[in-house]
Amino acid sequence: MSPAPRRFLVAALLLALVLAAGAWLARPKPLAVKFHVVTSGPVEATRANTRAGAVEACQRTRLSTIVGGRIEYLGVKEGDRVKKGQLLMKLWNDDQQAQRALALAQRDLAQQRVGEACALAANAVREADRVARLRQNGFVSVSREEQARADADARQAACATARADVRQTEARVRVTEVEQGRVALHAPFAGTVGRIVGEVGEFSTPSPPGVPTPPAIDLIDTSCLYVKAPMDELDAPKIRPGQTVRIRLDAYPERVFDGRVRRVAPFVTAVERQARTVDVEVDFVAPEEARGLLVGYSADVEILLEARAAALRIPTAALQEGNRVLRLGADGRLEARTLRTGLANWEHAEVLEGLAAGDRIVVSFDQEGVKAGARVTEDK
């Protein structure tokens, strides 16, 4: 071969090598992604509340007097502990007290009249019996006997009337006591005073039907607490009393309280047209752990529906639309796998088909190009 063709061949080979080297250097660099190694572990199916729940008291009552009036006595302050039956507040009622004093005086007078009338009746009965014996012996006339018996009957009727008057005056006394109860508030149970609306000398107004007026006294029994949380209506059929619950409070972010479903509401609450929920009540398994919690704390509940002690699982965040994951192939490229899953919650999902223990799947999707066929390397 002449020198000219040989030089041309060498130049062509050099150009091919340069182009190949350029293509190799210009190829896309592998994407650095994070992987998760598929292993076995516990998996749970859980349901959580759709909106924040709250810590509630087993007993809580918002007290208001039946009638309105000026506050004359206020025996408690906010935060006070009170006993059952303790007088908390009373409105001015001098007029009612005067009516009761009058009723008591009338009752005393009626009782005295009973003594007088019934004593005369007893004496008249004895006199009628004496006249009847005299009539049998012929010492008095028939008309005299009849007169004595009529007088005895009249006296006995007067005695019965006097007793009826006593019962009537006692009923009037009870009426005045009932009237006084309309202006007084007594604690229906032992508890803590949460809030008071009004001061001594101010006018207290009860809540008329259909008009929300703040109660005079908010009484809370803090010795028994539970959590009330709204659950999506679609989850309601799966929730039953007795199921295990994890309770988390915003006020104690590092702490998890054990709970148990107490009650599932028998109706759906429609807060908005597209937000239909069912209220679920959850008891604290260890009530002593709930002591000191404030009523009204926001709370979240996670209800355990079912659990597997050892199942092939992956992070739920690794699942893409259509139950797909990106698995690392032997050639260093990603391949899409469609899975059949079982139990799942926000943390883990059970894998029934599509992966094996030891497979490596992508768990980071925060960069462009992470898709099937991409060359990847592990982000350390």
Show the domain range for 345. 28-45+309-378
Looking at the structure, tell me whether residues 232 and 364 fall in a common domain: no
On whether residue 210 sits in a domain, the answer given is: yes
pLDDT, tens only, 235-265: 999 999 999 999 999 999 999 999 999 999 9
Is the pLDDT score of 165 beyond 60? yes
Looking at the structure, tell me whether residues 72 and 196 fall in a common domain: yes
On whether residue 291 sits in a domain, the answer given is: yes
- Tally the domains of the chain: 4
On whether residue 8 sits in a domain, the answer given is: no
On whether residue 346 sits in a domain, the answer given is: yes
* HEC-encoded secondary structure of the chain: CCHHHHHHHHHHHHHHHHHHHHHHHHCCCCEEECEEECEEEEEEEEEECCCCEEEEEEEEEEECCCCCEEEEEECCCCCCEECCCCEEEEECCHHHHHHHHHHHHHHHHHHHHHHHHHHHHHHHHHHHHHHHHHHHCCCCCHHHHHHHHHHHHHHHHHHHHHHHHHHHHHHHHHHHHHHHHCCEEECCCCEEEEEECCCCCCEECCCCCCCCCCCCEEEEEEEEEEEEEEEECCCHHHCCCCCEEEEEECCEEEEEEEEEEEEECCCCEEEECCEEEEEEEEEECCHHHHCCCCCCCEEEEEEEEEEEEEEEEEEHHHCECCCEEEEECCCCEEEEEECEEEEECCCEEEEEECCCCCCEEECCCCCCCCCCCCEEEECC
Looking at the structure, tell me whether residues 166 and 98 fall in a common domain: yes
Looking at the structure, tell me whether residues 109 and 210 fall in a common domain: no
With a pLDDT cut of 90, the percent of the chain lying above it is: 68
Looking at the structure, tell me whether residues 166 and 190 fall in a common domain: no
Global pTM value: 0.69
pLDDT, tens only, 309-357: 999 999 999 999 999 999 999 888 889 999 999 998 888 999 999 999 9
On whether residue 141 sits in a domain, the answer given is: yes
The enclosing domain of 280 has a CATH number of: 2.40.30.170
Is the pLDDT score of 1 beyond 70? no
Looking at the structure, tell me whether residues 258 and 149 fall in a common domain: no
Looking at the structure, tell me whether residues 245 and 348 fall in a common domain: no
The enclosing domain of 72 has a CATH number of: 2.40.50.100
On whether residue 111 sits in a domain, the answer given is: yes
pLDDT, tens only, 16-54: 665 665 544 455 678 888 999 999 999 999 999 988 999
Looking at the structure, tell me whether residues 121 and 161 fall in a common domain: yes
On whether residue 19 sits in a domain, the answer given is: no
The enclosing domain of 373 has a CATH number of: 2.40.420.20
Per-chain mean pLDDT for the chain:
89
Looking at the structure, tell me whether residues 263 and 130 fall in a common domain: no
pLDDT, tens only, 103-146: 999 999 999 999 999 999 999 999 999 999 988 988 888 899 89
Looking at the structure, tell me whether residues 156 and 119 fall in a common domain: yes
